[in-house]
Amino acid sequence: MKFNKNVGWIFTIMILIIIVTLSKGVFALEDEEVFIKNGSRDKKVIALTFDDGPHPKETNEVLDVLKKYDVKATFFIAGKHANWYPEPLIRTSKEGHEIGNHTFNHPDISNLSSSQIESEILKCEEILLKLTGKKTTLFRPPYGSYRKEELVNIAQKYNYKIVLWTTIDTRDWQNPQAHKIANTIIDKAKNGDIVLLHDYATNNTVQALDILIPAMIEKGFQFVTVSELIN
C-alpha cells in the first residue's frame, strides 16, 4: 500500500511537470507569434522602420528619398504628432507605406497600468484610422520598453503584432553624422533585419538614406514593409 502511494505521488508530480512544460512551450510559441524582431533569414530582404513621426519637415524629406528609390517602409506613429501634423501622415499612407501604432503620447509603457496602456494604443488607433482609413495591426512600444506578459495579453486582445527591431540600432535620434548612420546599416544588416530609424527631427537620417539605400540595393537587398517581411 505504501509503495502504491509513493508511485501515485511520483505519477502526479510527473504529470504536473509535463503540464508546466507544455504551458511554457505554448506561451513561448505565443511570444514568437506576437513579438516580431526579424523576418526570414532565407531571403535578401530588409525592412526600414521609422519611429516617432510624423514631422512636418523630416517626414516629407524621408518620403522624398524613399520615393526616389521606389522603396516602401513602415512608420510607427505617435498619435499626438499625427494630431499636430496630419498631412505628412496622410501622404505616407497614400504613397503605399505601412503605418504602425506607437501609442498616443509616447510614454514608457512599462510604467503604466494595463488600462493606461490600452488607452494609449486605442487613442492612437483612433487617430490613425480617422486620417488614413486603415486599421493597423502593428504596434511598437516606445523605447522598446514593456512588461512582457502584460503586453502580450493586450496585443492579443486587440489583434496586434508587437514589432521590435533587430540588433542594429543606429541611434539616429542622437543625430550622428549621416555616413555613420548609413555605414552602421550597410556593414551590419543581414537578411530579414528590421532596422530602427526616426523621422522626427533627425536631419542626418534623411541624408543617410540617400547613402544606404543605393548601397544596399547594390548588395542585392530588397526593401519591404514589416508585414511583407513577416508574411
Q: Tell me the pairing of strands 45-51 and 222-223.
A: parallel
Please work out, in degrees rounded to the nearest 5, the angle formed at the alpha carbon of residue 123 by the alpha carbons of 119 and 124. Answer: 120
Cis peptide before 54 (omega within 30 of 0): yes
Per-residue b or e along 128-156, where b marks 16 or more CB atoms closer than 10 Å to that residue's CB: beebbeeebebbbbbeeebbeeebbebbe
Q: Which of 51, 172, 193, 199 is catalytic?
A: 51
Say how far apart CA 121 and CA 183 lie, in whole Å: 34
Q: Is 51 a catalytic residue?
A: yes
**Does residue 102 sit in helix, strand or coil?**
coil
- The strand pairing partners of 49, in sequence order, are 74, 196
Q: Which of 81, 97, 102, 198 is catalytic?
A: 198
Residues labelled catalytic: 51, 198
